[in-house]
Amino acid sequence: MKQMLNRGFSLVEVMLIFLICSLILAASVPFITRKSRAIPSKISHGMYRCYSNGTNFTEEYYNSYSMVSSNNVAECKFKIPASATVFKIDLIGAGAGGHEYYKVEDSEESISGQYHISGGFSGKAYQRPSDVELKKYFSGLRVKLCQYAPNAQAGQSLKYSRFSPGNFNCRGIVNQISANNKQISALRSDKKFFESNKTQIKALESANIKLAEASKMVAEYASKYENSMQNDFLTNELSNYCASQGWGEGIVIASESRTIKGGSGGKGGYIDVSFDIGEGKPNQSFESYLSGLLTKDYLKGRCPAAGCSEASFQQASTVATTQSAGTYAIPEGVSDTGIYAGKSGADVEYLAAIKTPDGIVTHTAPSTGGEAAALQVYTSSINELPGAAGESATSQLAISCNEIKPYISISTNINIKEHYTGHGGGAGDYKTVYSYGLSGDEDNNCRIKISHGGSPAQFGVEPEEDLSTSIVCGDYHNSVNGGSYKLSSVNKKSYHLVQYLSSIPDMFKTLPESGEGSKYNTNMFWLKYKVPAMNIGAGGNGSGIIDKCTEPHGTYNYTLNNGYRGSSKYNKSENFNFNRNCTNDSTFVSNIPATKGQGGGVVIVW
């Protein structure tokens, strides 16, 4: 061993050492000569929240994935993370408290209702009448019912034309005069040969004079038939005469039109009955009797002509009638030769009936139609025979024949309970601000001021509390206002006692108005972790009322109207009172207290 140490390195060994050192040196050259550079750091993200939990504050830190810490602290301080660059800061002010105000008052309203025998009870009045009350009010009310029968028809009138002597002629005469006049007019208009035409014009004028004389002869002949019918005269007399003279047929230049009237129809009859509504029916409740009155006991209908029974009475919307067609009856002593007659009016037999609780009443007497007009024509004269009026079944009623529908009016004055309560508080304001870099105090903290929420306002007096939220990070400062109190008005809720008469409740409970909801949107859609939605900065609830004085008080009145039109009224009226035995004092009325607003908060995301 000692020999080996004394011997030293051989040349080969030294060369190998230098070779190894050379390789190490060559490999180290890139590291030795490279300039030193810092390793980039990764940007960190996270979230900070601090909000009131009533007495203290809850302060939470999150990293990119989950909550890191949660502490109950007396003061919020944000430790600024070193590697964060951009901060989104949400500031939420504290909510105002509700308004501690309540008052209960009574007011009154008038409401009405009616009880009709045709439709029962309607409206919102105090209560529907009892059976005993209904009978009491309808008692003694005697109503009158009636129906008219339709009128029998009138007889027909007759229209005809009479001969008028001066206005007939023969067609040959009329045509020849017309032709002569046209020729005379043409000859006179020819100025060039007027002198040579004079002789011809004179001859034509002479011919017209002779034709005019012939017309006079026709008129003289026709005057013998002055009272004849126009058509018969033309057919039988004038045309024969004109033909015998060589003047063609007879023609009408003008005639006279005349009308003779038929008789009017007879007037129909009517039914007139009356009964006492208030009597009712034995073994039947009065209300049941009234409800069936118009559908069972008082009906308009019809019966067979021979009479009427309960079984044969038929309810009908249109009353049946029988009708016989009339014809003209030729007067005694008058020959039926040459008679022209209209049609007489139909007779009407009225089969109506009225059913009342007392029985069925009918009326079957017929009314006769009017007689038609007639015309009796002779060779040289005409007799006009006017119609005659039909026979009336009976005279008209003295009063209008209307439906009778008596009813009861019910008027009620009843109290309304008015509950006045305070509004809920307004929510704290909310805003988002961005900051590129923050620097805190000596401990690199931001100092944050948050209110625990506004106290309820007592009867219109706003508490002197600072509800704002603020953050101070070195020179950086920002803040947001708290919610507003709503003291300038109050809520009003009305309880109409009339709606609770059939079932009086144990209490009227007016719930407090909720405070305004938080303006802060806790949506954490962008983040990995999910935090529960919070009502940071919401307003406190207003006040409510529990009211156990629920009995109604007031008056009500019944009035009976018999329903007649055009007749004196039969009215009855009576007043009633109903009173409660409670008051609006603290014995029966208490409040649901208003609540304070929710505290504010700060959320910082980086």
Partner 1 sequence: MGILSIFFAATAKIITTKPKAERVSYIHGSFKCCESQCYFKPPSGVAFFSIKAANYNYNSAYSHYEPNINNSFYINALSNPPRFYSTETGEEFLLNWNLTYSDFESYMRLSAPDENISNCQNGLVYISW
Please tell me whether residue 526 binds partner 1 under the rule CB under 8 A: yes
520 lies in the site for partner 1, by CB under 8 A? no
> Can you state the angle between helices 194-222 and 171-189, rounded to 10 degrees?
160
Rounded Cα distance, 470 and 465, in Å? 15
With binding defined as CB under 8 A, does residue 40 bind partner 1?
Answer: yes
Q: 3-state class of 99 per DSSP?
A: strand
- Can you tell me which of 13, 15, 28, 108 binds partner 1, judged by CB under 8 A? 28
- Rule CB under 8 A: say whether 274 interacts with partner 1: no
Q: Which of 527, 534, 546, 592 binds partner 1 (CB under 8 A)?
A: 527
- Sheet with strand 67-73: strands edge to edge: 67-73, 57-62, 47-52, 601-605, 86-92, 430-436
Closer residue to partner 1 (CB): 23 or 461: 23
Residue 2 binding partner 1, by CB under 8 A: no
Identity (one letter) of the amino acid at 319? V
Contact region for partner 1 (CB under 8 A) — 474-482, 485-493, 523-531, 537-545? 523-531
What single DSSP character describes residue 456?
A: P
Q: Is 19 in the site for partner 1 (CB under 8 A)?
A: no
CA dihedral 120, 123, 128, 133 (to 10 degrees): -70
- Residues 328-345: b if buried by 16+ CB within 10 A, e if exposed: beeeeeeeeeebebbebb
Q: Identify which of residues 459 and 529 has a Cβ nearer to partner 1 in the complex.
A: 529
Fill in the per-residue mask, 67 to 86: x = in contact with partner 1 (CB under 8 A), - = not in contact.
----------------xxxx
CB 63 to partner 1: min, Å: 10
Verify binding: residue 38, partner 1, rule CB under 8 A. Answer: yes
The H or E element containing residue 559 is strand 554-561
Q: Please tell me what DSSP assigns to residue 502.
A: S
Contact between 283 and partner 1 by CB under 8 A: the answer reads: no
Q: Nearest distance from residue 41's CB to partner 1, in Å?
A: 4
Binding-site member from 6, 7, 10, 42 for partner 1 (CB under 8 A): 42
Taking CB under 8 A as the rule, does residue 14 contact partner 1? Answer: no
Pairing of strands 469-473, 374-377: unpaired
Q: What are the Cα distances from residue 357, in Å, to 219, 272, 361?
A: 78, 14, 11
How many chain residues touch partner 1 (CB under 8 A)?
Answer: 35
Structure-token match 């509504």, residue found: 277
Residue 254 near partner 1 by CB under 8 A: no
Regarding 294 and contact with partner 1 (CB under 8 A), the answer is no
Interface pattern 83-122 for partner 1 (x via CB under 8 A):
xxxxxx----------------------------------
Q: What's the token pair of residue 56?
A: 């203290």
Secondary structure letter of residue 460 according to DSSP: T
Amino acid at 235: T
Query: What residues does 348 pair with on adjacent strands?
Result: 323, 367
Question: Per CB under 8 A, does 534 bind partner 1?
Answer: no
Q: Is 46 in the site for partner 1 (CB under 8 A)?
A: yes
Instruction: Work out which of 16, 20, 23, 43 binds partner 1, going by CB under 8 A.
Output: 43
Q: Which residues bind partner 1 (CB under 8 A)?
A: 21-22, 24-25, 28, 31-32, 36-43, 45-47, 64-65, 83-88, 434, 523, 525-528, 530, 605-606
